[in-house]
Amino acid sequence: RRLRIDGGRIAGSPGSRHCYRGVRMLAVSTERMLSAALTSILRHPAAMRVKAAARDLRWRLSGTTAQNPPLPPRIDSVLFVCLGNICRSPFAGLLAQQRLTEIHKVRTVSRSAGIRTSQSGSSPPEARTAAGVHGVSLESHRPVLLTPDLMSAHDLVVVMEYQQMEHLRSVYPASASRIVLLPLYDAGATGYERHNIDDPFMRPASAYAACYRRIDRAVAALCAAIAPRATVAGNLEGRC
C-alpha cells in the first residue's frame, strides 16, 4: 500500500508507517557514520600535514608579514588574549606569571582574556593534561571576556594570531602600540607559524602538546624581554 503525506502526517497502514520510520532512522544513522568517518580522515596526521603544507604555501604566496612594535619602557602588567580564553591564552598567562615571578624575580602581573568566550565554560581535558606537563594547572580556570577596561588596564597585550592582532588594533586603536604577536617570539617558526599559534580546541591531544610547546618557547623569550622593563620583586623603584 502506498504512503501518503497528509497534513504533515504519514497516511497508510501501521506497517507502512513503521517501514518509513525504519528507512528514515537508517538514513540518519548512515549520515552520522559517514560524517564521523570523514572527520576521522580529516584529522588523520597525514591529512593534517597536507593541510598544514597547503596553508603555509598560501601564507607565503600572500606575502603577509608583521613586526611587533617596541615594548613599552615599563611593563608592570601583561594581558594574553586568544579567541575563547580556554586553551592558549590562559596557559600562556599562567606560564608567563611563573617565569616572571620565579625566574626573573619581577613584580609584573600576567592575566588572560578571550575575544569571544562562548566556546566552553572551562578548559578542555586535553588542555589541562598538556598544561600539566609544563607545570601549569588549568583546573580552576574560567574564561574571561576581553573588555575595553582590560585593554586599557594592561601595559602590554599579547595575541596568538595575526588576524587577532589586526582585529584588536582596529577595535582598540589607542592600544595599537601595546599589542604584540606572541609567535614572533618563537624564533624557530617560519611561514604561517611565524605569525600564528593555532587554536588546538576540538583537535587531538597531540595538537595541544604541540601548541603548548610553541607557547612555552615564545613566552620564555617574551619574559626575558619584559624583565628589564619590570619592577624587581621587593623593590618598587628598581629594575632588573
E strand or H helix that includes residue 188: none
Q: Where are the beta strands (DSSP E) in 89-220?
A: 109-114, 156-159, 179-181
Among candidates 129, 148, 145, which has minimal Cα distance to 137? 129
Residue 118 is predicted with a pLDDT of: 83
Ordered per-residue pLDDT tens for the chain, 240 residues: 455 555 545 555 666 666 667 677 777 777 777 656 555 554 556 765 676 667 666 766 676 778 999 999 999 999 999 999 999 999 999 999 999 999 999 999 999 999 999 888 999 999 999 999 999 999 999 999 999 999 999 999 999 999 999 999 999 999 999 999 999 999 989 889 999 999 999 999 999 999 999 999 999 999 999 999 999 977 644 443
Cα–Cα distance measured from residue 73 to residue 68, given in angstroms and rounded to the nearest whole number: 15
Is the whole model's pTM more than 0.85, yes or no?
no
